[in-house]
Amino acid sequence: MISVLVVDDSVVVRRLIVNALSGDPNIEVVGTAANGRIALAKIETLKPDVVTLDIEMPELDGLATLRELRKRHRPPRVVMFSTLSVAGATATFEALAAGATDFVTKPANVASFGESQRMIREQLIPKILSLGGRRAPGAVNPVRRPVRPAARLGRVSAITIASSTGGPDALARVLGTLPANLPVPVLVVQHMPPVFTRMFAERLDRSCAVHVVEAADGMAVTAGTVYIAPGDRHLTVTGRGPAVTARLTEGPPENSCRPAADVLFRSVAEVYGGSTLAVVLTGMGQDGKRGAEVLRAAGAEILVQDQATSVVWGMPGAVAGAGLADAVLPLTEIGGYLTTRLATQLVAQPKVVLS
C-alpha cells in the first residue's frame, strides 16, 4: 500500500481527495491536515510515502511547509494542488523549485461533487502510483542497444525533447547548458496545462542562454530557439529546410496527453528525418515510445535519461525497454552531450529574440 497524507485547509477539498483516492486498492489515506504545521507533525509520526499539499493555507502555507520538509532526512514525495491561473502557476513553479515532485490542478467551475472527484481521481491516482514506485502497466526491462559509432552520427538539424513528471527541473538543467548560438531549434513537449506552459517558457527564457518561447501556430522554427508546446495543444512542424513552421492542433489526446510527445516525434521525423536528435526525460507513462519508433525508423539518434536520476522512469524506461535508445545517460550528462554533439556546428551569433 502507498500511504498518503492529504493537506488542505478546505474541508470540502480534503473530502474530495480522500474520496477520490479511497477507491484504489493500492492507496491508503493515513491522515489529513488543515495546514502545514499540523502536516509536519503528522508526517513525523505517520511517515507517509506521498503528501498532497495545498499552496495557500493558514499558519504555515505550502511553500513554507516544503522548505521545512527539505531539511528532513528522506522527506516524502509531494504533489502540489494548484489553481489553473497565473498566480497558481507562479506559486507552483516556486513549489517545484522548493522540492515538490509534481502538481495537479484543482477542478474549477465544476457543478457536481462527483465530477470534481472524478477529475481529481484521473489526475492524482496515476501520479501517486508512479511516485509510490508502482510499475507502469506494460513496462519492460531495458534492452541494451549497441552505442552507434561516432562516425555514423551525422549532422543534427533539430533536437526534440519529451518530459513529464520531474520534467520542469530536468528541462531547466538540460536547457541551461545550451549556448546562445545553438545551431539548431529545440522542440519540447512537457506535460502541463495551459497558462503553466507559457509561464514555464518565460521562466526558462530568463534563466537560459538560449531563447525559449511557448510555441504559437504559424511561428517560424529557427536555430537558437526552444519551442515549448502549449498546454492542451499538440505541437507539430511542417515545411523543409530553413522554412519550417510550428503548427498547433486540437487533435484527440494520445496517451491521455495533449500535448503528446508521440505527435511531435512523428511530425519531427517527417520534417527532419534522420538528422533529428531526440531526448526522453523523466516522466510517467509511455508517451514518446511510439514516436521514438518512427524516429528510429527514420534514422534519428535517441537519448533517454537513466533510472537513477529520473523522478519516474516511465517514459524513458519505455523507450529504453523497447531497445530504441542509442544511449541511457544520467541527467547531469545529457546537456553536455548535446553541446559536444553540436560543437562542430556552432557559429558565432547572438541570442535570437522573437517579437
For the beta carbon of residue 337, count every other beta carbon within 10 angstroms. 16
- Phi-psi sector, 239: left (phi>0), alpha (psi -120 to 50), beta: left
DSSP 147: P
Q: Does 191 participate in catalysis according to the annotation?
A: yes
What radius of gyration, in Å, describes the C-alpha atoms of the chain?
Answer: 20
C-beta of residue 175 within 8 angstroms of C-beta of residue 203 = no
Residue corresponding to grid cell 526558462: 204
DSSP 275: G
Considering the candidates 61, 102, 191, 234, report the single residue annotated as catalytic.
191
Q: Does 164 participate in catalysis according to the annotation?
A: yes
Considering the candidates 54, 262, 287, 326, report the single residue annotated as catalytic.
287
- Rounded to an integer, what distance in angstroms lies between the CA atom of residue 147 and that of residue 235? 30
In terms of Cα–Cα distance, which of 222, 185, 179 is closest to 340? 179
Q: Tell me, what amino acid is at 332?
A: T
Considering the candidates 157, 163, 164, 310, report the single residue annotated as catalytic.
164
Strand order in the sheet with 27-33: 27-33, 2-7, 50-54, 77-82, 102-105
Q: Does 287 participate in catalysis according to the annotation?
A: yes
Helices (H), the chain: 11-22, 36-46, 62-70, 86-97, 113-131, 167-175, 196-207, 261-272, 289-298, 315-321, 331-341
Which residues are part of the catalytic machinery?
Answer: 164, 191, 287
